[in-house]
Amino acid sequence: MPFSNASSNVPAAARFALVWGTLLASLAWGIPAAQGQITEFSPYSRNGLGLLNPTTTTGLIGLAGSGTAAAPAGFINTENPASIAGLLKTTFEVGGAAILQELRLGDQRADGTFGNTTPISLAVKRQGGKSAFNLGMAPYSTSGFAATRTYSADGMGLVRETYDGEGGLTQLHLGLARSFERGGWIAAGTADSIKVQKHQLFLGARLRYVFGQIQRTTRLDILDPTFLDNRTRTTDQHRSPGLELGMQYEWLLRAKYNDQLEFQRSTSLRFGSTYSPAAYLSTDQIRIVETTQTLGGIVTPLDTAFFNDQVSASGLIPARLGLGGALHFNNGNGRRFVLIGDWVLQDWGAVATEQSVNLLSDGVEWDRATAVRMGVEWTPARSNQRTNVWSLSTYRLGAGSGTLGMAFNGEPLTFETLTAGISIPMLGSRSASQFHFGTEFGTRTTANEGALEERYIRFQFGLSLSPFLKNNWLIPRLYD
């Protein structure tokens, strides 16, 4: 039993290796599976690197993904690399999502259902320690679409345009974070005082590697068999090493203790920031333009009109900046209330001239990717009369809006979202593990007249595994 403190005949080093091997093997198994399950159902994703709205860890879904200043103790915050230093113990997290999507264009409508994995992450933290390590994988962008348009052209009759694509980018990350604390004395009751942590600083850095493949196909089929058709196939293989930096600072504004030195209530303010410098992007692109003819429903290539093979074409992923804040209200009976929000900016238009491979179609250009996200988190009081699962859970609500880094005919692609979530402790277990559930209602569109409008509902679940409070991993035993 890996969570047991009882003595056994297995050496401590072997038990430690077994635990590490199991967790890392699970993470390695999930990497190819998650890469193959990154899917999408949006025609907007046929440009650029796909849609830059990847899923976040399930615990943050309820806060609309507002993680720059978030400091969860029971799950991993994938938005800020400094936050892992605030974890109580070693934590492993995995999950998945199902998405229901509706596309509307005028009176026409299409529906789709798909799913994908959520970030898979392992944070190694010794209880009471100041440092933490993080290894994980998360979606970076998604691409997937299948759209058809039929119209009548002068001299040719009916013409059908078909657009297909699939793929997406994934990021691997390896991070390190450390906390720094400064204590101070505050009054306790009427005649005593107690020393508490009044200031906490968390610093973190994470190495990132973005990789993946996106395939796009465009077909122009003229239904009159006397005309030849056209097919364009493009395959982009991307890779980009990068760096992410994070900081969180918590300031205890006030705290109250009674004469027995028992905690009563406190108010604290937390600030957060993240910064990713511009990263080099290398792309291998194969582009083939063919003259085709459809015979018996089978597209048959007749001739190659154009072929282009670019290897290691240079580009840039622009710098990304995030700023956030959170106000925490804690009570001695376990009640907790948090107000949180953040702002994120990544200007793709600033590096548009650096892209040596054209990843956009006609009428589309790079633009700023921005996000404003806000949320509230509430944990009810945990009195002796309220010990059921709902009184021990944490509830979240959030909202967000912004742009997604591309403009269509001069109008930015925008999004709006409303979210809700809950974290439930694993009752019946002596561990600190939790189940997480989140849902998101969102829209994507542009301000162009007659623009495509996308509506989606995301149902996301996750599981964070952490050992029992008294099972101190990574601490040498005093006896065997």
* pLDDT given for residue 127 in this prediction: 79
**In CATH terms, is domain 12-277+317-465 a member of 2.40.160?**
yes
Beta carbons of 232 and 283 less than 8 angstroms apart: no
* pLDDT given for residue 11 in this prediction: 42
Measure the CA–CA gap between 168 and 213, rounded to whole angstroms: 6
Measure the CA–CA gap between 421 and 341, rounded to whole angstroms: 16
Q: Domain coordinates of the chain in residue numbers?
A: 12-277+317-465
Mean pLDDT of the region 45-69:
88
- Predicted structure pTM score: 0.84
Q: Give residue-wise pLDDT tens across range 271-312.
A: 999 999 999 999 999 999 999 887 777 778 888 888 889 898
Measure the CA–CA gap between 216 and 337, rounded to whole angstroms: 47
* pLDDT given for residue 474 in this prediction: 54
* pLDDT given for residue 387 in this prediction: 64
With pLDDT > 90 as the criterion, what percentage of the chain qualifies?
Answer: 47
Q: Give residue-wise pLDDT tens across range 80-103.
A: 999 999 988 889 999 999 999 998
SS3 136: strand
Of 24-38, 80-94, 237-251, 277-291, the least confident: 24-38
More confident call, 1 vs 288:
288
Q: How far is CA 48 from CA 143, 178, 317, 459, 470, in A?
A: 9, 36, 11, 26, 49
* pLDDT given for residue 22 in this prediction: 42
* pLDDT given for residue 343 in this prediction: 97
Q: Kindly tell me the sign of the dihedral angle through the C-alpha atoms of 379, 381, 382, 385.
A: negative
* pLDDT given for residue 458 in this prediction: 93
* pLDDT given for residue 25 in this prediction: 43
Of 17-26, 124-133, 211-220, the least confident: 17-26
Angle at 168 between CA 284 and CA 448, to 5 degrees: 105
* pLDDT given for residue 126 in this prediction: 84
Q: What is the DSSP string of 146-197?
A: EEEEEEEETTTEEEEEEEEEEEEEEEEEEEEEEEEEEEEEEEETTTEEEEEE
Q: Give residue-wise pLDDT tens across range 168-219.
A: 899 999 999 999 999 888 877 777 788 888 899 999 999 999 999 999 998 8
First to last CA, the chain: 15
Residue 10 confidence class, pLDDT cut points 50, 70, 90? very low
More confident call, 413 vs 426:
413
Measure the CA–CA gap between 335 and 347, rounded to whole angstroms: 40
* pLDDT given for residue 386 in this prediction: 56
* DSSP 8-state code for residue 51: B
Measure the CA–CA gap between 271 and 337, rounded to whole angstroms: 16
Measure the CA–CA gap between 444 and 454, rounded to whole angstroms: 5
Beta carbons of 149 and 157 less than 8 angstroms apart: no
Residue 414 confidence class, pLDDT cut points 50, 70, 90? very high
With pLDDT > 70 as the criterion, what percentage of the chain qualifies?
Answer: 87
* pLDDT given for residue 81 in this prediction: 95
Closest to 139 in 3D by CA, of 93, 173, 170: 170
Amino acid making up residue 239:
R
SS3 263: strand
